[in-house]
Amino acid sequence: MADLSSTFAGIRSPNPFWLASGPPTNCGEQIQRAFEAGWGGAVWKTLGDPIVNVSSRYSSVDWNGQRMMGLNNIELITDRPLETNLREITEVKKRFPQHAVIASIMVDSNREAWHTIVKRCEDAGADGLELNFGCPHGMSERGMGSAVGQVPDYACMITEWVKEVARTPVLVKLTPNVTDIRMVARAAKRAGADALSAINTINSITGIDLDTLTPRPNVGGMSSHGGYCGPAVKPIALHLIQQIAADPQAVLPLSGIGGISGWREAAEFILLGCGTVQVCTAAMHHGYRIVEDMIDGLSNWMDDKGFRTIEDFRGLSVPKITEWKHLDLNYKIVARINRETCIGCDLCYIACWDGAHQCIHFDARPPAGITVTPVSRPEALRATGGPTPPARIPHVDETECVGCNLCWLVCPVENCISMAKIDTGAPPQSWAQRTEA
């Protein structure tokens, strides 16, 4: 049985699955239920001077009949009094001493204010602090959140203030709304941060109501840009994590966030170097209960792979990402279509023809023209579920195929198109080597 327990920058938790700062971590009662459901840790909804929120606050992007592929919000930090939150932190820690409770914090750019909130949170019993330098809406207009996270010098200064008084580990949560995330990550590291969390939400406008012409979410006929998260942002988050993980001047223990909704995404973030992962949208969508399969699925996968602990596989994929110029130009694959399983949808044909390299063909296709009812009744009956007509099964001209993968990506049938390795006889050679020679 795999051991999922985690020690992250000195913070211990029964598993690496933490709830990210947000609505699921708004109050102590919620966090206690989350811990009962199996979550290993929780980053409290960002604490600071209580704010006033608007309604509505969320909007989403649906895709292909599925709800909430991406979620956008214009919510600010906690709207509850600091005293209440601190009292509840103490209660939660009393009942769940083994679980990680992290206080996310954000106050004005004023040394005293930061010193005060750090001390109060630690006095309440928080296991660590997460500095919210990422909130991209509302708070940034007031000089906080991503207004700090977008300027390495500010991020460095505030992290230093916090480190002057902090007794627990300090995580800096980064915004993706920058041209190079490594610059802020390096600044945080210089200032002595113990760990980094990434990513916060991405600036977004999810869409416009085509009846009222008002973008969503609609607040009395007006809207404002928000922060995007949910399954849609995972590839962006993974890339930013990889950027930090591969940069010696930036790398610190990493808590991965962005589009994680199950154990598979969690494994991906860990493979790119994360020690813990955080979840917000998926818990908002389906509730705390999703953690059950995250724990179960990850342990089963680890057992199958022979990994005993998280450390056994953490970061294993980092060295497998390199610069393009080091990829082997002589590695060649081609597409092959399995005639037995092809259903004749011909999506690969049109994809290669219009979107790739025009190398998928038909042997025999009768010309289109005026037809009368094509088949007589008994024949039509037999056609139901019959074999794919040979004229609808395409084939690949392997001499022209560039091995782009497009046909394989569009094919709806599992294992119908495969990408086969061709031996070119040539030794591996990268662009860097070729231009050197």
Partner 1 sequence: MTASSVVPANLERFPDLHPALDSQSAVAEANRCLFCYDAPCTAACPTHIDVPRFIRKIGSGNLRGSALTILDANILGLSCSRVCPVDVLCEGSCVMHRYNKKPIEIGRLQRYAIEHGKASIACPAPGDAALNVACVGGGPASLSCAAELRRHGARVTVFDNRPLPGGLNTYGVAEYKLRPTDSLREVEMIRAMGVEFRQAEIGGAIPLSQLEAEFDFIFIGVGLGAMDRLGIPGDQLPGVIDALRFIERYKTQPSFAPGRTVIVIGGGNTAIDAANAAVRLGAQDVHLFYRRTPNEMPAFPFEYDHAKIEGVRFHWLAKPIAVVEVAGRAAAVRFANTRLTGPAGDGRQTIEVIPDSEYEVACDTVIPALGQSRLTSTLHLEINGSSVAVDRPTGRTSNPKYYAGGDCVNGGREVVDAVADGKRAALGMLSNGMAKHG
Burial of 12 (0-12, 13-18, 19+ CB in 10 A): middle
If one asks whether residue 208 binds partner 1 (CB under 8 A), the answer comes out as no
Name residue 343's amino acid. I
Minimum CB separation of residue 387 from ligand SF4 in Å reads: 23
Among partner 1, ligand SF4, none, partner that 406 touches (CB below 5 to 8 angstroms by kind): ligand SF4
Q: Could you tell me if 76 and 226 are in contact, meaning their C-beta atoms sit under 8 angstroms apart?
A: no
The residue length of the chain stands at: 437
Which one of the listed residues 27, 121, 135, 359 is annotated catalytic? 135
- Dist. CA 260–CA 277, nearest whole Å: 8
- Dist. CA 255–CA 235, nearest whole Å: 16
Tokens of 147: 């207004």
Scanning residues 17 to 76, which ones bind partner 1 (CB under 8 A)? 64-65
Name residue 278's amino acid. Q
Q: Is 407 annotated in the active site? A: no
Q: Which residues bind ligand SF4 (CB under 6 A)?
A: 335, 351-352, 356-357, 359-360, 396, 401-407
Tokens of 193: 């941060």
Nearer to ligand SF4 (CB atom), residue 422 or residue 426? 422
User: Any idea what DSSP says for residue 170?
Assistant: E
Nearer to partner 1 (CB atom), residue 236 or residue 350? 350
Q: Could you tell me if 104 and 45 are in contact, meaning their C-beta atoms sit under 8 angstroms apart?
A: yes
- Dist. CA 69–CA 230, nearest whole Å: 6
- Dist. CA 11–CA 156, nearest whole Å: 23
Among ligand SF4, partner 1, none, partner that 12 touches (CB below 5 to 8 angstroms by kind): none
If one asks whether residue 327 binds partner 1 (CB under 8 A), the answer comes out as no
Nearer to ligand SF4 (CB atom), residue 184 or residue 359? 359
If one asks whether residue 413 binds partner 1 (CB under 8 A), the answer comes out as yes
Minimum CB separation of residue 372 from partner 1 in Å reads: 5
If one asks whether residue 373 binds partner 1 (CB under 8 A), the answer comes out as yes
Binds partner 1 (CB under 8 A): choice among 321, 381, 409, 432: 381
Q: What is the DSSP string of 353-386?
A: HHHS-S-EE-S--PPP---SS-S-HHHHHHHTT-
Nearer to partner 1 (CB atom), residue 263 or residue 349? 349
Nearer to partner 1 (CB atom), residue 179 or residue 415? 415
Q: Give the binding site for partner 1 (CB under 8 A).
A: 64-65, 343-347, 349-350, 368, 370-375, 377, 380-381, 383-388, 392, 412-413
For the annotated catalytic residues, the residue numbers are: 135
